[in-house]
Structure 1
Amino acid sequence: MAAMPQTPHKDDLPETWSFLEAGIDNVMMKLEEGVDMKHVSDSNALIQNEATGSHLNVLKLTSVFFTYAVHNFCTSQKAVTSSQGLQAHRGAHLLGEELYKLLGEYLSRHLAVVYKESQSHAEEALLAFYIREWSRYTTAAKYINHLFSYLNRHWVKREIDEGKKNVYDVYTLHLVKWKEDFFEHVHEKVMDAVLNLIEKQRNGETIEQSQIKSIVDSFVSLGLDENDSKKPTLEVYRTYFQTPFIAATKQYYENESRQFVAENSVVEYMKKAEARLAEEKDRVGLYLHPDVTKLLTETCLDVLVTAHSNLLRDEFQILLDNERQEDLARMYRLLSRIKEGLDPLRATFENHVRRAGLAAVEKVASEGDNFEPKLYVDALLQVHTRYQNLVDEAFNGESEFVRSLDNACREFVNRNRICKTTTTRSPELLAKYTDGLLKKGSKAAEESELEEMLTQIMTVFKYIEDKDVFQKFYSKMLAKRLVHVSSVSDDAETSMISKLKEACGFEYTNKLQRMFQDIQLSKDLNSNYKDHQEKTYDDDERKKMTCERFQQFYFGKHNGRKLTWLWQLCKGEVKANYIKNAKLPYTFQVSTYQMGILLLFNETDTMGYSDIQKATALGPEVLDPNLSILLKAKVLLASPEGAKPDPSTTFSLNYNFKNKKIKVNLNIQIKSEQKQESDDTHKTIEEDRKLLLQVRAKPPLPDPLHASLCIVLFFTNAHQSAIVRVMKSRKKMKHVQLVQEVIQIVKSRFPPKIPDIKKNIEALMEKDYIERLDGDEIAYIA
């Protein structure tokens, strides 16, 4: 059992301090002799523990008499004089100040000894010494702070409340003294040792990371707010640790990256840079303070990426050419982290995709003019799919790269070798390809496969500028499919129209949807006519004068309408009973014109060109191509052999006709008919565009005596004139503004040309829809 210490006389300062100094020495000495730190980390817990060993018992006894001595001295007669009020208050101040001053001097002497000992250590040994002394010192500071708790609660608190500077609670005083009397002398050597340790780790060596963590924590603990000593700041950490650490990091990676780039490929450098960035991110979590994260990341990016960004960008085209998706993704990740790092890449990517698209179209065009629309559309889709996948996988689907892809696709879809003669070629070919998919016999047998193909069609469709051209061709082809009942399915037709409606709105597909209603009306009309025939004519009579009888029936139900026969769209089947050695008679699927030619051979086996022409009343532009088809199929034979249809040619039935199929399709659209139909469609488009730009604000009603279904639909579904619509709402506006607004309205249907808009403005002025005022201003005429 330790001897009970004797407390000093409460009025004797030297005696009191001598007693207190001995107690402080005892705390410092016992901690240095090996008191378990966990027992003294909380001074209150230490005092309450009865079974921690002889060292702690001594400390416990010391604490009791120590705090008693501090209390007695601060409340002695010297402090409480006969005078009341201010004098008594001042006396207590003087006594507390003496103790506080003596404690500070003691700590300075102690730290001088610690500093002297530190001079014999260097590098990692210095770090170990610093950490050990810091731990002992701060643990003792907590205990001593408890011993001087009365001083803290009264004198220190009063001084701080009165605004006294450089006065702290006893624990904080320990930190201040550590910083002033020890830290200021050793921080440079300590940081040199820390930075050397970090460099070793960066070079691949294993280090004691906990040492750096302890140093960081001590630097953080030394940060004090001048206005509030209990509020920590990061000033010391940032000044003495973070600043030299960032400078060393920058220097290290400047040297490493410069040497690595000189000795390795760009791809290998990107791998190295990415690995280093990940290492530095992990380093923060291992032993650095989170406050350094942003500055460390910016420094590493500046040195590793920004400084070598031109080198990386120069490699981008090479990686694109070789489809190095993984390396492109790595470049994207690196350059996306620096300001404007990706801008040059987006421009390069856009040009690359555009060139790839043009090259794909060039390959299709090199096969000649007779390529299938599928070949063209597939070429466009393959380029888009390839680079859409690249954007998604390598560039993380980033919106600006998507924009670059869209810009490139829009260019090569609308302006390529095949579109060189006319920019409307792409929508026409796309419409034909769609028609092929939606016809019976499409190779996309599965419904899901067909739906996927229709979705791909919409991918190309969104890039087409002349959407009105697609609409016009599509509507004509849809009409044929409906008339010939050749659609693969109603669901597929509805799905495609729904996709177009979603892309362009109700107005765009209104006419297409009404076609289905027209087909139902046609079915009802045919059914009514069939009933009428059965009631009116016998079997033999029904086979004669069919056209005339239908006209009579139709005009009897619809007074004032015009009925137009579209012979080129009619078709039928004929049985060939004349062919020798045929197990079953062949059935020929033919157009009306072909049927007319073949039926002539019921009366004779051989006919001259002039006789056929006279009997059918067909002009050479129709007769010649149809005869050519029959010759090519070897249904007819020409004399002289190999002759083409002309007035000197004679035609005869081929009794030895052979074909692998029993049902033979001869109803093939003639190229001249296709070209004529395409030319007519384009003329209609041009007229529609004029009307769209011009005067459909109040369209004139069609003459009821001459109105065809097409005309009625045209006026029913037409847009209001773009120019008139704008002027009607604005009343007055400048010419330039009018042109710009019209472009905005019309561009969703087709890219308008400014000269065309100006021409139509002039046309509307001539028709008194609008008038020109002074100052290049235009006004609407009500």
Structure 2
Amino acid sequence: MSAAKKYKPMDTTELHENTENIAACLKKAESAAALMMGRSAFAAQNMNSASTNGERLPNFSKLGSSHGEIRSASTTSNLLNRTGAIHNSKPGDVKKIVIKNFKDKPTLPDNYSEDTYVKLEEAVIAIQLSKPIKYSLEELYQAVVNMCSHKMDAQLYTKLKELTEQHVKRNIKLKELTGGSMDKLVLLEKINNWWLSFCQQMIMIRSIFLYMDRTYVLQNSFIHSIWDMGLDLFRIHFAQNSVVQKRTVDGLLALIEKERQGASVDRGLLKSLVRMLCDLQIYSSSFEEKFLDATNQLYKAESQRMMQDLEVPGYLQHVSMRLAEEHERLLHYLDSSTKHPLIYNVEKELLAEHLTAILQKGLDSLLEDNRWVELTLLYSLLSRVKNGTSELCGNFNGYIKKKGRTIVIDPEKDKSMVQDLLEFKDKMDYIVRNCFARNEKFTNSLREAFEFFINQRANKPAELIAKYVDMKLRSGNKGTTDEELEKTLDKIMVLFRFIHGKDVFEAFYKKDLAKRLLVGKSASVDSEKSMLSKLKQECGGGFTSKLEGMFKDMELSRDINTAFRGHALSNNRDVHNLDLCVSILTMGYWPTYAPTEVTMPPQLINPQQIFNKFYLEKHSGRKLQWQPTLGNCMLRAQFEGGSKELLVSLFQALVLLLFNDKTVLNYEEILAATMIEDGELRRTLQSLACGRARVITKTPKGREIEDGDQFDFNNEFTNKLFRIKINQIQMKETNEEQKATEERVFQDRQYQIDAAIVRIMKMRKTLSHNLLITELFNQLTFPVKPADLKKRIESLIDRDYMERDKDNQNQYNYVA
């Protein structure tokens, strides 16, 4: 800029033609010279703008003006000459301008450093005391730049640190902070105001000394930045003054405890002071440990009191609320590093310490009362603590076993056992699925518990499940769609999997299936085959082979009956207009029925003989054994009110046909005429005289059939239906049938045990008693006691299938 002033009056005609090019070159030269001298644009702007009375501020980086002006003039002259050369150069030629630094370094005026120190010290003290600053910030900033540029930055940093430390010491020793009479809240507010003011002061001071912070501090890694230096001094003197630090921490703890008790507090104040402790790096040592101890003591006492005063649902709600509050505190003012220990301590005192008491006191009632929301909350809370879900799973397992055992063991609940089990299983599945988040551990525990208690009562659950399936698959099961029936069968199969004695289920299912097929009481062939496929999928083809054979027999019987009708028509056989339908059963597939001999009326004997001859002609070598137990008939009866069709069992038909000859018969006469077994006859007469459709009457009145009772044909019988079913008695199971089925299962099991023993001994040849028992337990599919196995071993020894070793009585040898 000085060069431009000196050469302003020159005759510019000496320049080659265009003076505008010269001015442009001068302007570039000035800018380049300013940059090479190390003057920042910021400093130049400050010098130009911070003038007083129209005069520029002194620029101490351009001392020795005479030399500078000569140098600049010479440089400018060279530039002017070279400009002409540029003008005369050919188009496309490029010339570079070279600008050189001063040969002599600029120096500061005398006493400049002392005056600057005083000026900067006054400014820092004014900032610390919140007073106006005499000098402009630009002037102070430039002073720091000049001091640092002339290697006085170390002394300047030391001086600034001394001023800051004096300020901190002066404030930390104020009586209002160290005195004990001040209210805790007022004290916290004063400390917070002091801290915020100190931070604002350090920001202002740093803006003035920014050049030193970015040069001297960065060049010396062992020196703190101005901001860190201020925090370090604050931390040192705040930590050394135990009174102020203790009162601050105690005040914070008291304020937090007040908030925990439900009072409203200034969270902004808490956040600011907690942030102060974090910035000073004394949060963990001075505050966090005491805060966690206070938290433990508070919740330990509170949990003991609440466990006594509240029921489990209310206590769980309280724990959930407390955890939410602590999360909110973490969000608003506590440091994130406190999250894990704080939540852990709260969960430990409120949940882990009372885990057993919570489960013993409230789990059963929550499960009994269907408290889905509370169960979900219980699971979510206990999953937070160590072993929480394991303890919950164990108690859940215990509840299922205890509740399930009450359903299975009590004989009075046999009628509703299976339905109760299905409902109980649905309920437990819902809890595991919706309340326990489908936790696999709970799913497995549920299965194990059901399998345990359902086998506590040997054989009976299997029998009742088979009878429940029979009830569902029987015709007349109204109000159930095919889809609902299929779902019910799927649920029954779940219970079936838990049963150990599946052979018991098979025996009773086979007996009931035979009745449904022979009496025509099956609701749907599709449903029957669906159940059969489920059993086959679950237990294999060997389990259902006989059941499948029963269906094949029914299909063959239909073909045989069709052929018999054609045979009777073609041969003009007299069957008395009787529609005879015979079921041909393969003995190995069907349940074993005891041979029964009854006196058949002539109108039934003739068709039976005709069919017998027809079948044996087609199948020579076979033997037919007639089984009247499950036969049924359609009779047409005439009453005063009109004719009716009666669907009855064969035994009922034999009794009713007697009343064609006599209107009054006593018990002994009926017994002699039909030859029906005494117990069966009493049941038959009871169904005809004491049931809903009383086509005969009994004298004397009463439910039981006694010897000498008289029976009359009820000519006054009325019913709104034309076709009346009276043969439901056939579907009812008698005690004799039940005992026979159980005995058959017992015999089958003995045969299976014998076969397993022989199979094992034949393979091993020699085996000790304990190893043989172990092998048998592994191979047998039904529950058995060691004493029963020992009896079968003794039986096989008696029958010479095996023998005891002569030298070792505890060892067996196979006898070939």
Q: What TM-score, normalized to structure 1?
A: 0.72
Asked whether the 8 Å contact 1:27–1:59 carries over to 2, the reply is no
- Cα distance change on mapping 1:587 and 1:689 into 2, 3 Å: same
Aligned residue number for residue 92 of structure 1: none
2:293 alignment partner, one of 235, 247, 258: 247
Quote the offset at 1:569 in angstroms. Answer: 1.4
Asked whether the 8 Å contact 1:771–1:781 carries over to 2, the reply is no
- Cα distance change on mapping 1:351 and 1:250 into 2, 3 Å: closer
Q: Please show how residues 612-761 of structure 1 align to structure 2 within 5 Å.
A: 612-632=670-690, 634-637=694-697, 651-669=711-729, 674-695=734-755, 721=756, 724=759, 736=770, 739-740=773-774, 742-746=776-780, 749-760=781-792
Secondary structure of 1:576's match?
strand
Asked whether the 8 Å contact 1:354–1:412 carries over to 2, the reply is yes
- Cα distance change on mapping 1:403 and 1:311 into 2, 3 Å: same
1:302 alignment partner, one of 348, 368, 384: 348
Quote the offset at 1:306 in angstroms. Answer: 4.0
Counterparts of 1:379 and 1:112, CA distance in 2: 80
- Cα distance change on mapping 1:21 and 1:763 into 2, 3 Å: farther
Secondary structure of 1:602's match?
coil
- Cα distance change on mapping 1:71 and 1:727 into 2, 3 Å: farther
Quote the offset at 1:280 in angstroms. Answer: 0.5
Q: Please show how residues 196-207 of structure 1 align to structure 2 within 5 Å.
A: 196-207=254-265
Asked whether the 8 Å contact 2:761–2:814 carries over to 1, the reply is no
Aligned residue number for residue 122 of structure 1: 187
Quote the offset at 1:573 in angstroms. Answer: 0.6
- Cα distance change on mapping 1:203 and 1:259 into 2, 3 Å: same
Q: Please show how residues 267-346 of structure 1 align to structure 2 within 5 Å.
A: 268-309=314-355, 312-313=358-359, 315-316=361-362, 319=365, 323=369, 325=371, 334-341=381-388
Quote the offset at 1:509 in angstroms. Answer: 4.2
Q: Please show how residues 213-252 of structure 1 align to structure 2 within 5 Å.
A: 213-223=271-281, 236-252=282-298
Q: Which amino acid aligns with 2:725?
A: N
Counterparts of 2:208 and 2:765, CA distance in 1: 89
**How many corresponding residue pairs?**
678
Secondary structure of 1:176's match?
helix
Asked whether the 8 Å contact 2:667–2:709 carries over to 1, the reply is yes
Q: Which amino acid aligns with 1:677?
A: E
Aligned residue number for residue 574 of structure 1: 635
Quote the offset at 1:284 in angstroms. Answer: 0.8
Mapped pair 1:480 → 2:515: yes
Asked whether the 8 Å contact 1:435–1:477 carries over to 2, the reply is yes
Asked whether the 8 Å contact 1:118–1:129 carries over to 2, the reply is no
Quote the offset at 1:618 in angstroms. Answer: 3.3
Quote the offset at 1:10 in angstroms. Answer: 7.3
Q: Which amino acid aligns with 2:236?
A: E
Aligned residue number for residue 166 of structure 2: 109
Asked whether the 8 Å contact 1:5–1:65 carries over to 2, the reply is no
Q: What does the per-residue CA deviation read over 1:225-269, in whole Å, with 9 as the maximum and x for residues that have no partner?
A: xxxxxxxxxxx4322332222122223334555566677666655
Q: Which amino acid aligns with 1:573?
A: M
- Cα distance change on mapping 1:106 and 1:512 into 2, 3 Å: farther
Q: Please show how residues 133-212 of structure 1 align to structure 2 within 5 Å.
A: 133-137=198-202, 140-141=205-206, 144=209, 146-154=211-219, 156-157=220-221, 167-168=223-224, 171-185=227-241, 186-212=244-270
Q: Which amino acid aligns with 2:416?
A: L
Secondary structure of 1:750's match?
coil
Runs of 5+ unmatched residues, structure 2: 1-48, 52-56, 62-105, 178-185, 579-604
Quote the offset at 1:529 in angstroms. Answer: 3.4
Mapped pair 1:587 → 2:645: yes
2:608 alignment partner, one of 547, 557, 571: 547
Aligned residue number for residue 492 of structure 2: 457
Aligned residue number for residue 461 of structure 2: 426
Quote the offset at 1:473 in angstroms. Answer: 0.9
Counterparts of 1:660 and 1:386, CA distance in 2: 43
Asked whether the 8 Å contact 2:761–2:767 carries over to 1, the reply is no
Secondary structure of 2:646's match?
strand
- Cα distance change on mapping 1:105 and 1:727 into 2, 3 Å: farther
Secondary structure of 2:734's match?
helix
Counterparts of 1:18 and 1:775, CA distance in 2: 118
- Cα distance change on mapping 1:560 and 1:239 into 2, 3 Å: farther
Mapped pair 1:489 → 2:524: yes
Mapped pair 1:378 → 2:419: yes
Q: Which amino acid aligns with 1:239?
A: S
- Cα distance change on mapping 1:105 and 1:341 into 2, 3 Å: same
Q: What does the per-residue CA deviation read over 1:534-562, in whole Å, with 9 as the maximum and x for residues that have no partner?
A: 44444559967433443444444445545
Aligned residue number for residue 91 of structure 1: none
Secondary structure of 2:385's match?
coil
Secondary structure of 2:641's match?
coil
Q: Which amino acid aligns with 1:569?
A: L
Q: What does the per-residue CA deviation read over 1:356-415, in whole Å, with 9 as the maximum and x for residues that have no partner?
A: 55666798728xxxxxx6534334445555666566666666666666666665566554
Counterparts of 2:731 and 2:473, CA distance in 1: 21
Quote the offset at 1:771 in angstroms. Answer: 8.9
- Cα distance change on mapping 1:168 and 1:520 into 2, 3 Å: farther
Counterparts of 1:460 and 1:487, CA distance in 2: 22
Task: Tell me the C-alpha RMSD between the 2 structures.
Answer: 4.7
Counterparts of 2:191 and 2:704, CA distance in 1: 106
Asked whether the 8 Å contact 1:17–1:99 carries over to 2, the reply is no
Quote the offset at 1:218 in angstroms. Answer: 3.7
- Cα distance change on mapping 1:21 and 1:381 into 2, 3 Å: farther
Quote the offset at 1:477 in angstroms. Answer: 1.3
Counterparts of 1:499 and 1:5, CA distance in 2: 105
Which stretch of structure 1 is more off in the superposition, 514-523 or 393-402? 393-402
Asked whether the 8 Å contact 2:116–2:143 carries over to 1, the reply is no
Aligned residue number for residue 63 of structure 1: 141
Counterparts of 2:204 and 2:803, CA distance in 1: 93
Q: What does the per-residue CA deviation read over 1:474-505, in whole Å, with 9 as the maximum and x for residues that have no partner?
A: 12212322333322223333443455456555
- Cα distance change on mapping 1:143 and 1:486 into 2, 3 Å: farther
Counterparts of 1:646 and 1:261, CA distance in 2: 67
Asked whether the 8 Å contact 2:515–2:731 carries over to 1, the reply is no
Q: Which amino acid aligns with 1:656?
A: E
Counterparts of 1:642 and 1:248, CA distance in 2: 82
| Bigger Rg over Cα | 2
1:530 alignment partner, one of 545, 565, 570: 565
Quote the offset at 1:678 in angstroms. Answer: 1.4
- Cα distance change on mapping 1:266 and 1:573 into 2, 3 Å: closer
- Cα distance change on mapping 1:151 and 1:637 into 2, 3 Å: closer
Counterparts of 2:279 and 2:175, CA distance in 1: 20
Which stretch of structure 1 is more off in the superposition, 674-683 or 120-129? 120-129
Q: Which amino acid aligns with 2:235?
A: K
Secondary structure of 1:122's match?
helix
Quote the offset at 1:429 in angstroms. Answer: 2.3
